[in-house]
Amino acid sequence: MFSGGTKNLVEPHSAGQMRPGEKGELILTGRRAPAEIMERADLVTEMRQVKHYYDQGVPARDGIER
């Protein structure tokens, strides 16, 4: 979602069609999130590859990895 950039950073209630004051969660995925979102987030996770079968020459599968 973020690696290509975002043009508009909206309030979470408008992005998820929630009314202000309603409780809910907004989950965003992607790489290189803008600093504004990282600062406002309650939870930020960074994943990294430790081991992958691609390293042994296994090709990506259509519809799964590509």
The total domain count for the chain is: 1
**Banded pLDDT at 58 (limits 50, 70, 90):** very high
Q: From 15, 19, 53, select the one nearest 37 (Cα to Cα).
A: 15
- The domain containing residue 54 runs over which residues? 1-66
pLDDT at 59 over 80: yes
The token pair that represents 46 in the structure block: 């960074």
Distance of alpha carbon 66 from alpha carbon 41, whole angstroms = 29
Residue 57: which pLDDT band, with cuts at 50, 70 and 90? Answer: very high
In this model, does residue 3 exceed pLDDT 70? Answer: no
Identify the three-state secondary structure at position 35: helix
Q: pLDDT by residue (tens digit) across 30-50? A: 888 889 888 888 899 988 889
Tell me the pTM. 0.49
Q: What is the DSSP letter of 7?
A: S
Q: Is the pLDDT of residue 24 over 90?
A: no
